[in-house]
Amino acid sequence: MAIRKRKTTEEKAVYQLHVSLLDTHPPIWRRLLVHADLSLAQLHNVLQIAMGWENIHLHSFRTARRRFGQPEPADPFSKSPVVEDERRVRLSAVLLESGEKMIYTYDFGDNWEHEVVFEQQLPVDANTLYPTCIDGRLACPPEDCGGIPGYCDLLKILAIPSHRRYKELREWLGRDFCPEEFSPEEVNRSLAPRKRSRKALVR
């Protein structure tokens, strides 16, 4: 496999990423600014906070030819694609040019797939703490709700207070859950400890 040479300025650069949860209508999305030299393991933690997940399930990243995640011991008889260690791969080594994208999958049961698009490279702003969320729309689905089909059913029931399951689901979700709400400020408050220490991004 041919390996393209990394830009010499990438370690000092910032990537603007657009992250969208696939198959959601209207789309659930976030726009993030992150250091280009984050490992994919660090990016995973940023995505969990930005989207609103709870980091209680497995995950992976993939491009057309490569897969990244938490590799298991090698199995010589396995026909599955080799999973590269996400802790050893930097974002700038996967997305090299504006417009390139990868898929981030969270929870292999519910199969939440996110498209991560590299929109543009920016210089580091000394007055900005990274990572940071600069925009987004709609709340993250609740964990373990059955993936996209389950979430669509949930939204239909929430729109009908007289539905026989409305009270049950409202109690399960909590009174504060509102599908239309999203606050970049709340995301950035949660990201704040990670802004103070780059090492804190890896658990």
Going from the C-alpha of 88 to that of each of 41, 68, 109, 146, the distances in angstroms are 8, 10, 26, 32
Q: List the Cα angle 102/108/113 in 5-degree steps.
A: 35
Q: Does residue 199 register a pLDDT over 80?
A: no
Domains of the chain: 10-138+182-201 (3.10.290.30), 142-181 (no CATH)
How, if at all, do strands 112-123 and 67-69 pair?
Answer: unpaired
Element (H, E) at 79: none
Q: Does residue 76 register a pLDDT over 80?
A: no
Q: What is the pLDDT of residue 104?
A: 98
Q: What is the pLDDT of residues 31-50, one digit of tens each?
A: 999 999 999 999 999 999 99
How, if at all, do strands 59-62 and 101-106 pair?
Answer: antiparallel
State if pTM tops 0.85: yes
Respond yes or no on whether the N-terminal peptide bond of residue 71 is cis (omega within 30° of 0): no
Q: Does residue 203 register a pLDDT over 50?
A: no
Q: What is the pLDDT of residues 105-115, one digit of tens each?
A: 999 999 999 99
Q: What is the pLDDT of residue 2?
A: 46
Q: What is the pLDDT of residue 75?
A: 53
Residues with Cβ within 8 Å of residue 80, at least 6 apart in sequence: none
Residues across the chain: 203
Residues with Cβ within 8 Å of residue 45, at least 6 apart in sequence: 55, 194, 201, 202, 203
Q: What is the pLDDT of residue 72?
A: 73
Respond yes or no on whether the N-terminal peptide bond of residue 27 is cis (omega within 30° of 0): no
Within 10 angstroms of residue 72's Cβ, the number of other Cβ atoms is 9
Q: What is the pLDDT of residues 7-19, one digit of tens each?
A: 444 557 999 999 9
Residues with Cβ within 8 Å of residue 92, at least 6 apart in sequence: 6, 7, 10, 11, 13, 15, 36, 37
Q: What is the pLDDT of residue 32?
A: 98
